[in-house]
Amino acid sequence: MLIFCKSRKAATRTLNHILPYIERKLFLKVNREKTQVAYVNKVKYLGYSFYIHKGEGRLRIHPKSV
């Protein structure tokens, strides 16, 4: 699951609030080692990476996946 926020502060706050919900209400396990707050250019997810082009979020195959 990816959750995008406008700022690092908002992302950290969202992460702190969503983790207990996922674990206690949905009974899902969260891998704390993979859970991170990162800039969109630094994220690799299911073989894809993301980038911003002219103010729009875009998707491409990550170079390591090729």
How many domains is the chain partitioned into structurally?
2
| Domain identity same for 8 and 29 | yes
Residue 15: pLDDT band by 50, 70, 90 thresholds? very high
Q: What is the pTM of this model?
A: 0.71
pLDDT above 90: residue 24: yes
| Domain identity same for 30 and 42 | no
36-51, pLDDT tens digit by residue?
A: 999 888 888 899 998 8
| Domain identity same for 1 and 18 | yes
pLDDT above 90: residue 14: yes
| Domain identity same for 9 and 24 | yes
Residue 31: pLDDT band by 50, 70, 90 thresholds? very high
Cα R_g (the chain), whole angstroms: 14
Q: What is the pLDDT of residue 19?
A: 94
- Pairing of β 56-61 and β 44-45: unpaired
* Domain that residue 12 falls in: 1-35
The letter for the amino acid at 60 is R
